[in-house]
């Protein structure tokens, strides 16, 4: 494959961050957002004590809320993150769920729901945020495969994820060293762009 072919074909979507594209009504962007963050929301709900079906339900409610109030989310300061906002929404929905549950359980004499009500109020610790970030990046990489040429993805995958030296990757993929670095740089640039502020 010619390096220039890759260059020509790789020009995916514009350099707008994912959130901007979702706000702009781009359907694929929404799908991507859901794929990126859905698992995170689901895992939060499960950790906050919800059963698998309840977690899926509450997760759906969370995205409903996100869908209708995305415009309300503004990055007012550089530190504000979409994830923190999403977590607040998820926390509210989970607490709502437990509150409903409490009302039902109180009449039944149970106490399980009480244990969880507000269980999710604790702010995430750094290790948790770091782990979640890693998983976000990993999912983002998996999703990028649709935006790039397979050769670009392969070069990126080998050099970044597998840590193969660029020279070796170039050789085994039949690309020039330049093309490998270009692939790597492009995908990293896209990742940075898409996850900016998320």
Partner 1 sequence: MTPSSFTGDPCLAAQVLTQYLRGDLPEGEHERVERHVSVCQRCALALDTFTDGEDDIVLRLRAPEASDPLESEAGCQHMVARLSALPRQPNRGRSHSHGSGDKFAAAWSRDTQSFASPQNSTGCRNDCNSAPLPEVFGRYRILRWLGAGGMADVYLAHDTELDRQVALKAPNLSIQQSSIERERFKREARAAAAIHHPQVCSVFDIGEHEGVCYLTMRYVEGQLLSSHLAAHGRLPAHDAARLVSQLADAVASAHERGVVHRDIKPANVFLDPQGLPILMDFGLASVDRRQEDKLTQAGAVMGTPAYMSPEQAAGQIEQVGPASDIYSLGVLLFEMLVGRPPFTGSASEVIGKILYLPPPKPTELLREVDSELEAICLRAMSKSPEHRYASVVEFRQALQNWLAKHDASKHDASLAPTRTPPRMRWWIAAGVASLLAIVACGVYSLVLHTPTGAIEVRFHDENAQVRVLQEGKVLEIIDASTGSQMRRLSTGRYELALVGDRNQFVVQPARVQLKRGDHVIVEILPVERSLVGNSEQEPAHPTAAATATSTGKLPLNQLDPSTVSPELRSQFLKTVPQNGELTLVGGISAESLQRPQAGMAPLEPPLFLVLSGDGATLAAMHPGKVVVIWDLATQQSTRYMTMPRYDTTMTLSHDGTILASAGGGWPVRVWSLADGMLQSTHEGHTNWVNTIAFSRDGKLAASSSKDGTVRVWDIVNRGNLWARPHGDWSRAVAISPDGLQVASGGQKGLVKLWDIASGKLIRTWTASTHPVLHLQFNPAKPTLAVKDETGALTVSSLTYGKPLLRVAMHPLTFPRFSPDGDTIAFATPEGELVLHDSALPTVRLRLPAPVKGAVLTPLGFSDDGRHLVVSDSTGGVGIFRLGSTPAP
How many residues in the shown chain lie near partner 1 by CB under 8 A? 91
User: Shortest distance, CB of residue 172 to partner 1, whole angstroms?
Assistant: 16
| Given 1, 5, 9, 15, the residue binding partner 1 (CB under 8 A) | 15
Residue 150: burial class (beta carbons within 10 Å; 0-12, 13-18, 19+) = exposed
If binding is defined by CB under 8 A, does position 82 make contact with partner 1? no
Number of other residues whose CB lies within 10 A of the CB of residue 102: 18
Considering only CA atoms, which of 72, 57, 67 is closest in space to residue 30? 67
| Given 103, 104, 115, 171, the residue binding partner 1 (CB under 8 A) | 115
If binding is defined by CB under 8 A, does position 2 make contact with partner 1? no
If binding is defined by CB under 8 A, does position 118 make contact with partner 1? yes
Return the residue matching tokens 């994830």. Answer: 83
| Given 5, 8, 35, 150, the residue binding partner 1 (CB under 8 A) | 35
Alpha-carbon separation of residue 13 from 10, 104, 107, 190 (angstroms)? 9, 49, 54, 10
User: Shortest distance, CB of residue 150 to partner 1, whole angstroms?
Assistant: 18
| Given 14, 24, 125, 174, the residue binding partner 1 (CB under 8 A) | 24
If binding is defined by CB under 8 A, does position 189 make contact with partner 1? yes
37-76 positions binding partner 1, by CB under 8 A: 38-40, 42-43, 46-47, 49-53, 55-57, 59-60, 63-64, 67-71, 76
DSSP 8-state code for residue 121:
G
Considering only CA atoms, which of 121, 130, 140 is closest in space to residue 47? 121
Alpha-carbon separation of residue 63 from 41, 68, 72, 89 (angstroms)? 9, 8, 14, 9
If binding is defined by CB under 8 A, does position 151 make contact with partner 1? no
User: Shortest distance, CB of residue 94 to partner 1, whole angstroms?
Assistant: 11
């Amino acid at each position: 494959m010619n390096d220039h072919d890759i260059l020509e074909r790789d020009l995916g979507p514009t350099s707008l961050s994912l959130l901007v594209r979702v706000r702009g009504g781009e359907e694929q962007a929404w799908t991507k957002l859901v794929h990126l963050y859905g698992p995170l929301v689901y895992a939060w709900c499960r950790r906050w004590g919800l059963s698998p079906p309840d977690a899926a339900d509450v997760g759906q409610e969370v995205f409903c809320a996100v869908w209708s109030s995305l415009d309300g989310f503004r990055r007012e300061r550089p530190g504000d993150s979409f994830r923190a906002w999403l977590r607040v929404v998820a926390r509210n929905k989970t607490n709502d769920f437990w509150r409903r549950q409490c009302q039902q359980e109180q009449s039944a004499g149970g106490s399980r729901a009480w244990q969880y009500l507000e269980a999710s109020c604790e702010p995430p610790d750094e290790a948790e945020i770091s782990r979640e970030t890693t998983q976000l990046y990993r999912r983002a990489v998996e999703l990028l495969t649709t935006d790039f040429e397979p050769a670009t993805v392969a070069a990126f995958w080998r050099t970044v994820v597998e840590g193969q030296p660029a020279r070796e990757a170039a050789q085994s993929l039949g690309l020039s060293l330049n093309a490998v670095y270009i692939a790597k740089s492009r995908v990293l640039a896209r990742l940075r762009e898409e996850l900016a502020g998320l």
